[in-house]
Every structure is written in C-alpha cells, then in structure tokens.
C-alpha cells in the first residue's frame, strides 16, 4: 500500500511555529515572570518578618504601643493584621490587603514589558544576523505565518504566562500573611481572605489580556518593522527615530498648525510607539476613569479593564500596528543577507 502524504494545514504549521518561539524564548516568556514573582514574594516576606520583629522589639522596650504602631510592608499595616478589628478597620484592612496584593503581583508585569519589547526587536533581526533566515525560507513556511507566530507570542502567549505568574504570586502572598495572622492569634479567614478580594483581582488580571493585545499592537508592530528592516542596531533605530521626531516637533512647534501641542505628539505618537508593552500604561490615557475609582479592586476590576476597549486610541493604534506588521511581512519576503 502506498503511503498517502497529507498536506500540513496552516493552523498546524502556525501551532508548531508558536512552539518554536516558546522553546527558543522560554527564559523570557516563562522563567522571567515566575522568577520576578518569587523575588517579590521573598522580599515581601522578609519585609513582614523584619516589620514584626521591629514591632515586637519596640513594644517590649516600652518605646511603642502595639495598637498605635504604624509599620507597613507594601502598604499593609501590620498592626491591623495582628489585632482585633471593628467593621471600619476591616474595610481599611481590606483596602490595604488589595493594594498589597496588587503591588506584590505587579512584578511579573514589569518583567513582561521588557521581555516583549526586546523579544520583538530581535524577532526578525536575529534570523538575518545569523543567516538562519536562509534555512527557514527553505522550509514550506510563509513569511506571513512566521511573522504572525512572533506577533501572537508577543501579544498573547507572553501576557498569559505573566498573568498566571502574577496570580500565583498573589495567592502565595496571601498564604504568607495568613500564616502571620495565624501565628499571632488571628483568624486568617476573617482577617485575610474575608476582607481581601483575590478572586476579583485575578479576574481583573485575566480581563486585562485582550486590552494588552490591542494596546500593545502599535509598539509591537513598530518593533517588528524595525526588526525586519534594520541592517544593524535595531534598538537604536526603533528608539531614536520616534525620539528624534518628537524633538523636531517640539522645537519647530509644528503641532501649532493643527491647534495641538507637542505634548500630544509625545503622548499619542512617541508614547504609543515605545511604551505600549508596559502593562497599565493605558491608564494614563484615561486619568479621569482611574481617579474616579475608590479602591484598587475597582481600578483593576474586569469592567474597568475592559472599559479601555471603548477608547478610540486603542483601535486607531491597533490599526496602525496592523499596518506596521503588514510592512514587516513584506520586508521579510525580500530579506536576504545583512
């Protein structure tokens, strides 16, 4: 019986390309956010231990009364954590816990911004630099599939892993402070898990993923374009061109011809090209919405996160990013040697 060769579908090919990107960049995509989360957890734990030690020592020496102390770690009042609370104190503690959880879980997101930025810069340039582009072009892989695999890795795979690392860090920190409350005679369910809102924060982190996908598109597209075009030093081209354009616009006052200031150009052009991979930067474009929130839970809630999808800037930027990606694909088709 003759073997029948079935053609590999485009979806299957894209899946294997995504696996390739993940395995080649596993250090940045997987290890970096989890290491950042562990570092945050260790530093917060050490801070709590030192804070409680100082609290106890000062109280034993008569220099400080425990119920009037003001020792905080990541915004969390350790005194509130270790004494009897009335309803007002529980609300205060809940807000402090939520702010602390958000702060402790932010480290993987900080790492994500740098990982995606530098990954996109080298995504198409490195293949040309080491001549491996000749090998990949010899395979039945289209340039569109190759670029899309790098795009999906940057705007979907990397943020999903970062969100998972952030949620795991947050839950581990909850366990740590629950142990602190338990060892000081407190009820962790009443003092920690009850007042705090870890599930709402986790839901907010998950709902932020589509916002990041769209908001980061102009930056990711611009970086991929520079990565596919620059013959050397793509970082300098990607960063210096927008900065130089901003300086020219500021010095010539050309935006005055359109009844706009140079600040608009820096925010909506330079900022969108260079800062889109930084998580939470979209809040700078809706300050009135951010300031109207009474708690960190409301600020990071799914409804508030998804509210960014109503911003015209996010869709205009996404369209520009798609145009950049289209140009990057065309440039890769003509790419030869550096």
Residues 6+ positions from 133 with CB-CB distance below 8 Å = 127, 335
Token pair listed for 118: 């530098």
Rounded mean pLDDT, 161-177: 94
| Largest separation between any pair of C-alpha atoms in the chain | 91
Q: Quote the CA–CA distance of 123 and 156 in Å, as a whole number.
A: 15
323-326: long-range contacts, CB 8 A cutoff, minimum separation 24: 323/221, 324/218, 324/221, 324/222, 324/224, 324/225, 325/147, 325/151, 325/217, 325/220, 325/221, 325/224, 325/225
Q: Is the pLDDT of residue 14 over 90?
A: no
> What does the block give as tokens for 96?
């402090």
To the nearest whole number, what is the mean pLDDT of the chain?
Answer: 82
**Nearest 5°: phi and psi at 85?**
-125, 140
Most confidently predicted of 135-139, 207-211, 296-300, 307-311: 207-211
220-230: pLDDT as tens digits: 999 999 999 98
**Does 321 score more than 50 pLDDT?**
yes
pLDDT, average across residues 17-22? 90
pLDDT value at residue 294: 58
Per-residue pLDDT tens over the stretch 235-262? 999 999 999 999 999 998 888 878 888 8
Say whether pLDDT at 1 is over 50. no
Q: Give the integer Cα–Cα distance in Å for 29 and 318.
A: 23
Condensed to tens digits (0 to 9), the pLDDT of residues 272-286 reads: 999 999 998 888 887
Stated pTM of the model: 0.85
Whether the pLDDT of residue 63 is over 70: the answer is no
Output the six-digit token pair for 10: 């485009």
Closest by CA position to 20, among listed 148, 116, 134, 114: 148
Band of the pLDDT at 66, cuts 50, 70, 90? very low
Distance CA 202, CA 208 (A): 10
Residue 65 neighbours by CB under 8 Å, 6+ apart:
59
Average pLDDT of the segment spanning 126-141: 68
Structure-model confidence comparison of residues 316 and 73, the more confident one: 316
What are the pLDDT digits (tens) for 35-49? Answer: 999 999 999 888 888
């Amino acid at each position: 019986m003759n073997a029948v060769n079935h053609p590999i579908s485009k979806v299957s090919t894209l899946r294997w390309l995504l696996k390739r990107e993940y395995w080649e960049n596993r250090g940045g995509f997987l290890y970096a956010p989890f290491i950042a989360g562990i570092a945050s957890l260790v530093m917060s734990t050490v801070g709590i231990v030192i804070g409680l030690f100082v609290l106890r020592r000062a109280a034993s020496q008569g220099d400080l009364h425990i119920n009037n102390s003001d020792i905080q770690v990541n915004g969390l009042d350790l005194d509130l954590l270790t004494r009897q609370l009335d309803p007002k104190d529980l609300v205060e503690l809940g807000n402090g816990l939520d702010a602390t959880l958000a702060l402790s879980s932010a480290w993987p997101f900080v790492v994500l911004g740098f990982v995606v930025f530098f990954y996109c810069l080298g995504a198409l340039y490195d293949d040309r630099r080491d001549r491996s582009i000749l090998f990949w072009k010899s395979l039945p892989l289209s340039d569109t599939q190759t670029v899309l695999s790098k795009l999906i890795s940057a705007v979907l795979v990397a943020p999903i892993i970062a969100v998972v690392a952030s949620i795991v860090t947050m839950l581990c920190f909850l366990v740590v402070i629950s142990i602190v409350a338990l060892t000081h005679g407190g009820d962790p369910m009443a003092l920690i898990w009850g007042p705090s809102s870890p599930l709402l924060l986790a839901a907010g982190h998950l709902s932020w993923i589509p916002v990041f996908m769209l908001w980061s598109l102009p930056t990711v597209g611009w970086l991929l374009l520079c990565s596919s075009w620059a013959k050397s030093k793509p970082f300098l081209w990607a960063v210096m061109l927008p900065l130089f354009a901003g300086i020219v616009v500021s010095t010539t006052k050309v935006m005055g011809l359109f009844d706009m200031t140079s600040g608009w150009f820096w925010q909506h052009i330079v900022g969108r090209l260079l800062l889109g991979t930084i998580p939470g930067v979209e809040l700078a474009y809706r300050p009135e919405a951010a300031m109207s929130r009474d708690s960190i839970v409301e600020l990071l809630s799914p409804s508030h996160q998804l509210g960014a999808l109503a911003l015209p800037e996010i869709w205009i930027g996404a369209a520009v990013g798609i145009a950049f990606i289209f140009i990057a694909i065309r440039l890769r088709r003509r790419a030869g040697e550096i």
